[in-house]
């Protein structure tokens, strides 16, 4: 069985290599979020089901495709054909019955296998130790809430590592604030849509730590393409530390009071929240621990002071169609704001 | 029916009235006012080929944009408009139009009728469809509307709610989308009614249902399916328009409407629509494969039954487009099963075509080349379809480039290949001139190379996690090289299509004379002159079997002896 599995893996690897995406089958997080590098039970189950289906369809392809090639070569009219008509055959009940019954049997096998997997993944019982996360899709960013932990954050999801012996799966509740979106981290699970008025569920139990990438998979408007997704799978210690930090209110650093004032007097606070301040806006991402995130604008640019400044000055230049307006601020205000936001660790 | 005589000689002897030079205006007038099914068929087809070039140009712009990561050839908004217009154009203005062109031209000829049942409805349908298409493209010019936002629609050809609500799509672009489809839908319904009525009531003497060419059978099924499925689409468009103009809340989720309801309406139309587009490809295959293999179609009754079977099953599979919307596990399993079931009648068809070729003497003229490629590509499309019906796997592949690859295998690899084959086959009938075989082979080889570069390759970025409908992607994802190959293939297909357009123009002017029956075929249209006279048949034909011309050419071994 193991050998067979390695063989399948080898075939897929060879096919991918042929076209130059060699890494796609390694274990753990990949820059290329291949569905053939699963790192979580649902994704791995889908992979094994897909191998089974590929074998059956591959066999059909070889038999029928081979037959087609044979017929085309064997029965093509030669150059000096005598123009007589070949024998006319109008049908044959036995043969036709055979090629109806065989596909029926194949369908039965395929269906039963698939149905088992549907129930295994979709109706898997939720263990007590599961972590709950509520994801809210927005044009064009992600909001994450941890109801058990009292955390609200955006765009970069942190979840704990799971393992077969010490399972700690994450269970998602998927909501949408505006239009349809779809949550897809190919290495961790299949996608599920976020639909307004229609809560959905999804689970994953990541088996290797690191950063997993994905992106919105349902066309959601102008910036659908840059609605990127980053999932950090933390070891238990990392996760504890991260949670502890996120639960603290926003840092109050007197040296950047000017920037904070800009934030609270300009329109920023209408849309953004910083815990522990007057800013409680919910339209845009929560900024309480903005500086602890690696990226801005749902993964589009690195989080550094220069990019941050450019983003506030003109979001459209980074993410055309983004729904944050360009704030008409002076250079001085921009500097103060950037300094303030950089303290929100 | 031992005396299966065919009074066709008379038809061929008709000498056309003395030719007189017509002015351009007279010619234009005759085309605009025509109610002749053949002229309307040609109008539909030419119109469809025109939109094919437009939709193809959009596809190429899309592919240039995606050839490299972080490309800036198109702005995001323009890209979104282009893929929306590309999808809408290809499905509604290219696919539907060309196939109805074929149906219009051929169904009356094949059943030995002088015209469609309702010639004036026929003309009306064409012009309404043409108007709907024009309206859609008019949005590029006039869509800015009150709010000064957007012009052409940019909500995807599936136009999922609530992205199409006023709140998320201000301006008039989405209105153009909805209203132009309502308008062209009226034309489509008219044609479908006409085809059903024609097949039911206009068949010549001796042509029982079980003697109709399979081509006619398939268009009968297609028309019935169209009538069933256009209704929910039009209803949904009207509801959307009510939401947008009258403050309705059908799909307005902010006021409690349902986004999932839109998906059900859309796909209960949209999935059978895929069969409305693919069954005509089967229709063409059913004529070309036997003639070029020199064999009777194998298992005619099974072929007819399988077509009806596919139509029925196709009405029960729509939610396989919705495996990711969070249906229950039981629903997912049900739609997995119903989808897999389609594979059975489809498999029967493929096997019967192979059996038809088996033991034949296959002549690989251009029409047959295209239909052989069709067979092979349709096999692959069917197999990737089975993969997508496996709902857990679809949770990964849905809305990825794998899906784009799959349905282009159906729409281009099967439908467009069959249409090209059909055009090479019937062009001589419609114009009296053969299309050049030499240019035809160039067209074929360029097109098939481009097709496989594009759509074989396109499966891979899907597996590597690339979603559809994105105007750009990050360089670290490893999708770049794949996309470059896809784009190169797309451009080659574009060139091939231009080669075909060139072939049509050149051959029309100085092509070889076709004569009434250049392919040595068997159905009634080949008994008329090329092009046929206005009234098709001077004397109503009488048939005694499925292949009246075979009987005529082989009186020693006529078909009716063997027909079940
Ligand atoms: C050279 C030929 C073609 C190429 C290179 C091509 C390319 C593409 C691409 C790249 C997309 C994805 C756009 C996106 O989601 O971002 C697309 C979508 C689509 N294409 Fe094509 N296409 C071609 C021909 C056709 C034809 C002939 C048809 C139908 C008869 C067709 C029907 C569609 C449809 C329905 C969509 C879906 C649009 C959407 O997602 O909204 N295409 N095409
Ligand atoms: Cu989205």
Chain A CA closest to residue B291: A85
Rounded distance, CA A166 to CA A248, Å?
28
Regarding pTM above 0.90, the answer is yes
pLDDT over 90, % of chain A = 76
Q: Highest mean pLDDT: which of A21-30, A78-87, B52-61?
A: B52-61
Instruction: Evaluate: CB of B507 within 6 angstroms of ligand 1.
Output: no
Judge whether residue A297 has pLDDT over 90: yes
Do residues A260 and A280 share a domain? yes
Which runs of consecutive H residues, i.e. helices, occur in chain A? 2-19, 41-60, 66-74, 93-122, 236-247, 257-265, 268-271, 305-313, 315-318, 331-342
Domain presence at residue A107: yes
Q: Please say whether the beta carbons of B356 and B289 come within 8 A.
A: yes
Judge whether residue B9 has pLDDT over 50: no
Gap from CA of A219 to ligand 1 centroid (Å): 15
Judge whether residue B1 has pLDDT over 50: no
Do residues A45 and A142 share a domain? no
Preferred mutation among B210, B464, B476, B561 to probe A, highest tally of A CBs within 10 A: B464
Nearest CA to ligand 1 atom 6: B59
Nearest to B326 among A196, A198, A222 (CB): A198
Domain presence at residue A81: no
pLDDT at B10: 44
DSSP 8-state assignment for residue A257 = H
- Dihedral of the alpha carbons of B217, B219, B223, B228, in degrees to the nearest 10: 60
Nearest to B399 among A24, A86, A218 (CB): A218
Do residues A68 and A172 share a domain? no
Task: Using the 3D structure, point to which of A203, A230, A246 is the last residue of a domain.
Answer: A246
Nearest-CA distance B24 → chain A (Å)? 45
Do residues A58 and A157 share a domain? no
Do residues A61 and A165 share a domain? no
Domain range for residue A272?
254-341
Instruction: Evaluate: CB of B83 within 6 angstroms of ligand 1.
Output: yes
CB contact under 8 Å between A75 and B293, yes or no, is yes
- How far CA B172 is from CA of B129, B139, B154, in Å, comes to 21, 8, 11
Q: Write out pLDDT tens, residues B102-116.
A: 999 999 999 999 999
Nearest to B329 among A24, A122, A224 (CB): A122
Confidence of residue B16 (pLDDT cuts 50, 70, 90): low
Nearest to A53 among B329, B393, B467 (CB): B393
Confidence of residue A278 (pLDDT cuts 50, 70, 90): confident
Nearest-CA distance A264 → chain B (Å)? 28
Domain presence at residue A28: yes
Do residues A31 and A56 share a domain? yes
Gap from CA of A343 to ligand 2 centroid (Å): 30
Preferred mutation among A47, A111, A297 to probe B, highest tally of B CBs within 10 A: A111
Q: Write out pLDDT tens, residues B435-461.
A: 999 999 999 999 999 999 999 999 999
Residues in chain A within 8 Å Cβ distance of B398: 191, 217
> How, if at all, do strands A210-215 and A200-204 pair?
unpaired
CB contact under 8 Å between A21 and B563, yes or no, is no
Residues 166-195 of A with CB under 8 A from B: 174, 178-180, 182, 184, 186, 189-193, 195
Q: Please say whether the beta carbons of B387 and B341 come within 8 A.
A: no
Instruction: Evaluate: CB of B547 within 6 angstroms of ligand 1.
Output: no
Q: Write out pLDDT tens, residues B324-371.
A: 999 999 999 999 999 999 999 999 999 999 999 999 999 999 999 999
Q: Please say whether the beta carbons of A160 and A153 come within 8 A.
A: no
Confidence of residue A253 (pLDDT cuts 50, 70, 90): confident
Nearest-CA distance A118 → chain B (Å)? 6
Do residues A261 and A241 share a domain? no
List, as own/partner pairs, every contact residues B509-514 make where C-beta atoms lie below 8 angstroms and the sequence separation is at least 24, other chains included: B511/B431, B511/B433, B511/B434, B511/B435, B511/B436, B512/B433, B512/B434, B512/B436, B513/B432, B513/B433, B513/B434, B514/B428, B514/B429, B514/B431, B514/B432, B514/B433, B514/B434
Cβ of residue A198 closer than 8 Å to a chain B Cβ: yes
Q: What is the CATH number of the domain that holds A12?
A: 1.10.287
Cβ of residue A46 closer than 8 Å to a chain B Cβ: yes
Mean pLDDT of B460-471: 96
Q: Please say whether the beta carbons of B155 and B163 come within 8 A.
A: yes
Classified as helix, coil or strand, B536 is: coil
> How, if at all, do strands A228-234 and A156-160 pair?
parallel
Judge whether residue B319 has pLDDT over 70: yes
Q: Degrees (nearest 5) of the Cα angle B103, B385, B383?
A: 100
Task: Using the 3D structure, point to which of A211, A246, A281 is the last residue of a domain.
Answer: A246
Domain presence at residue A59: yes
Do residues A112 and A179 share a domain? no
Q: What is the CATH number of the domain that holds A221?
A: 2.60.40.420
Decide which of A153 and B19 is more confident. A153
pLDDT at B105: 97
pLDDT at B353: 97
Closest C-alpha among A296, A289, A280 to residue A228:
A296
Residues in chain A within 8 Å Cβ distance of B336: 111, 114-115, 118
Residues in chain A within 8 Å Cβ distance of B368: none
Confidence of residue A267 (pLDDT cuts 50, 70, 90): confident
Judge whether residue A82 has pLDDT over 70: yes
Measured in whole angstroms, how far is the alpha carbon of residue B156 from the centre of its chain?
A: 20
Residues in chain B within 8 Å Cβ distance of A9: none
Nearest to B464 among A32, A60, A104 (CB): A32
Q: What total of structural domains would you count in chain A? A: 3
- How far CA B338 is from CA of B147, B310, B347, B348, B397, in Å, comes to 45, 11, 15, 17, 19
Domain presence at residue A88: no
pLDDT at B3: 43
Nearest to B477 among A32, A122, A221 (CB): A32
pLDDT at A19: 56
CB contact under 8 Å between B467 and A180, yes or no, is no
Residues in chain B within 8 Å Cβ distance of A179: 160, 162-163, 168, 259
Judge whether residue A78 has pLDDT over 90: no
Judge whether residue B149 has pLDDT over 70: no
Determine which helix (DSSP H) or strand (DSSP E) holds B220, and give its type and residue range.
helix B214-246
Lowest mean pLDDT among A213-227, A244-258, B193-207, B442-456: A244-258
Closest ligand, as measured to the CA of B418: 1
Residues in chain B within 8 Å Cβ distance of A68: 354, 372, 375-376, 379
Nearest CA to ligand 1 atom 19: B87
Do residues A155 and A239 share a domain? yes
Domain presence at residue A180: yes
Residues in chain A within 8 Å Cβ distance of B400: 217
Domain presence at residue A320: yes
Confidence of residue B562 (pLDDT cuts 50, 70, 90): confident
Decide which of B394 and A25 is more confident. B394
Do residues A143 and A235 share a domain? yes
pLDDT over 90, % of chain B = 88
Of the candidate CATH numbers 3.40.1190.20, 3.30.70.260, 1.20.210.10, 1.10.10.10, the domain formed by B30-559 belongs to 1.20.210.10
Chain B CA closest to residue A225: B470
Residues in chain A within 8 Å Cβ distance of B399: 182, 191, 217-219
Count the residues in chain B. 564
Q: Best of B58, B408, B488 to mutate for ligand 1, by most ligand atoms within 8 A of CB?
A: B408
Two structure tokens written together for A285: 């991402």
Determine which helix (DSSP H) or strand (DSSP E) holds A204, and give its type and residue range.
strand A200-204
Q: Is the peptide bond before B531 cis (omega within 30 degrees of 0)?
A: yes
Nearest-CA distance B477 → chain A (Å)? 5
pLDDT at B6: 54
Judge whether residue B291 has pLDDT over 50: yes
Nearest CA to ligand 1 atom 1: B490
Q: Write out pLDDT tens, residues B213-232.
A: 999 999 999 999 999 999 99
Q: Write out pLDDT tens, residues B400-446.
A: 999 999 999 999 999 999 999 999 999 999 999 999 999 999 999 99
Atom of ligand 1 nearest to the CA of B471: 16
pLDDT at B13: 47
- How far CA B509 is from CA of B20, B50, B432, B505, B534, in Å, comes to 18, 19, 11, 6, 22
Judge whether residue B202 has pLDDT over 90: yes
Cβ of residue A25 closer than 8 Å to a chain B Cβ: no
Do residues A106 and A150 share a domain? no
Closest ligand, as measured to the CA of B51: 1
- As for the ipTM of the complex, it is 0.93
CB contact under 8 Å between B256 and A65, yes or no, is no
Judge whether residue A6 has pLDDT over 80: no
- By the CB criterion, residues less than 5 angstroms from ion ligand 2 are A 181, 216, 220, 227
Closest C-alpha among A257, A345, A224, A341 to residue A293:
A345
């Amino acid at each position: 069985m193991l050998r067979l599995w390695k063989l399948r893996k080898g075939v897929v690897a060879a096919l991918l290599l042929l076209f130059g995406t060699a890494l796609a089958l390694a274990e753990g997080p990949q820059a290329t979020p291949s569905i053939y590098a699963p790192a979580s039970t649902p994704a791995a189950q889908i992979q094994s089901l897909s191998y089974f289906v590929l074998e059956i369809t591959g066999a059909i392809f070889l038999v029928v495709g081979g037959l087609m090639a044979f017929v085309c070569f064997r029965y093509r009219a030669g150059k000096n054909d005598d123009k007589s008509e070949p024998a006319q055959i109008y049908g044959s009940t036995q043969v036709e019955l055979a090629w109806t019954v065989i596909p029926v049997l194949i369908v039965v096998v395929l269906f039963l296998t698939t149905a088992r997997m549907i129930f295994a993944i979709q109706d898997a019982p939720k263990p007590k130790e599961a972590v709950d996360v509520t994801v809210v899709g927005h044009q064009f960013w992600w909001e994450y809430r941890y109801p058990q932990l009292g955390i609200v954050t955006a765009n970069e999801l942190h979840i704990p590592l799971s393992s077969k012996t010490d399972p700690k799966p994450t269970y998602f509740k998927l909501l949408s604030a505006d239009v349809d979106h779809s949550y897809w981290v190919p290495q961790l699970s299949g996608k599920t849509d976020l639909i307004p008025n229609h809560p959905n569920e999804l689970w994953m139990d990541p088996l290797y730590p690191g950063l997993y990438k994905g992106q919105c998979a349902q066309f959601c408007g102008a910036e659908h393409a840059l609605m990127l997704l980053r999932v950090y799978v933390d070891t238990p210690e990392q996760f504890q530390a991260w949670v502890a930090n996120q639960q603290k209110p926003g840092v109050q650093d007197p040296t950047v009071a000017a920037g904070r004032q800009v934030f609270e007097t300009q329109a920023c606070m209408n849309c953004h929240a910083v815990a522990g301040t007057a800013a409680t806006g919910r339209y845009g991402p929560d900024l309480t621990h903005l500086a602890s995130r690696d990226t801005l604008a749902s993964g589009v640019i690195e989080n550094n002071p220069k990019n941050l400044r450019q983003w506030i000055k003109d979001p459209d230049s980074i993410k055309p169609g983004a729904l944050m307006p360009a704030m008409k601020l002076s250079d001085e205000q921009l500097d103060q704001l950037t300094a303030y936001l950089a303290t929100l660790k | 029916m031992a005396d299966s005589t065919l009074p066709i000689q008379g038809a061929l002897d008709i000498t056309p009235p003395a030719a007189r030079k017509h002015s351009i205006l007279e010619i234009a007038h005759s085309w605009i006012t025509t109610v002749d099914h053949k002229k309307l068929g040609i109008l539909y087809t030419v119109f469809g080929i025109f939109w094919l070039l437009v939709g193809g140009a959009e596809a190429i712009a899309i592919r240039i944009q995606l050839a490299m990561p972080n490309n800036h050839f198109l702005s995001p908004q323009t890209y979104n408009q282009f893929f929306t217009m590309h999808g809408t154009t290809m499905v509604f203005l290219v696919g539907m139009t060309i196939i109805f062109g074929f149906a219009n031209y051929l169904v009356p000829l094949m059943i030995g009728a002088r015209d469609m049942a309702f010639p004036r409805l026929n003309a009306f349908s064409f012009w309404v469809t043409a108007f709907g298409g024009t309206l859609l493209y008019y949005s590029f010019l006039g869509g800015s509307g009150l709010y000064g936002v957007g012009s052409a629609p940019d909500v995807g050809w599936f136009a999922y709610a609530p992205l199409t609500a006023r709140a998320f799509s201000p301006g008039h672009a989405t209105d153009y989308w909805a209203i132009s489809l309502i308008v062209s839908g009226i034309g489509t319904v008219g044609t479908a009614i006409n085809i059903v009525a024609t097949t039911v009531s206009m068949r010549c003497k001796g042509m029982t249902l079980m003697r109709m060419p399979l081509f006619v059978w398939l268009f009968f099924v297609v028309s019935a399916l169209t009538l069933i499925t256009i209704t929910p689409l039009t209803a949904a468009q009207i509801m959307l328009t009510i939401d947008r103009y009258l403050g309705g809340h059908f799909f307005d989720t902010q006021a409690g409407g349902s986004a999932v309801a839109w998906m059900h309406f859309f796909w209960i139309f949209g999935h059978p629509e895929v069969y409305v587009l693919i069954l005509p490809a089967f229709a063409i295959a059913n004529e070309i494969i036997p003639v070029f293999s020199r064999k009777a179609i194998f298992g005619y009754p099974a072929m007819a039954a399988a077509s009806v079977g596919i139509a029925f099953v196709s009405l029960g599979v729509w939610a396989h487009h919705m495996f990711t919307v969070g249906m229950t596990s039981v629903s997912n399993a049900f739609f997995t099963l119903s989808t897999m079931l389609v594979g059975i009648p489809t498999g029967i068809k493929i096997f019967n075509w192979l059996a038809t070729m088996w033991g034949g003497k296959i002549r690989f003229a251009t029409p047959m080349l295209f239909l052989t490629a069709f067979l092979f590509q349709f096999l692959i499309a069917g197999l990737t379809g089975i993969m997508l019906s496996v709902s857990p796997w679809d949770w990964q592949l849905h809305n990825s480039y794998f899906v784009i690859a799959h349905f282009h295998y159906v729409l281009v690899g099967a439908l467009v290949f069959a249409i090209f084959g059909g055009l090479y086959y019937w062009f001589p009938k419609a114009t009296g001139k053969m299309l050049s075989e030499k240019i035809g082979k160039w067209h074929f080889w360029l097109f098939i190379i481009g097709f496989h570069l594009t759509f074989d390759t396109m499966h891979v970025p899907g597996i590597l996690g690339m979603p559809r409908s994105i105007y750009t992607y990050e360089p670290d994802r490893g999708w770049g090289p794949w996309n470059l190959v896809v784009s190169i293939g797309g451009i080659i297909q574009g060139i091939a299509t231009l080669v075909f357009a060139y072939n049509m123009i050149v051959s029309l002017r100085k092509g070889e004379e076709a004569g009434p029956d250049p392919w040595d075929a068997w159905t009634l249209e080949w008994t008329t002159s090329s092009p046929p006279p206005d009234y098709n048949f001077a004397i109503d034909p009488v048939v005694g079997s499925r292949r009246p011309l075979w009987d005529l050419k082989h009186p020693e071994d006529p078909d009716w002896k063997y027909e079940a």
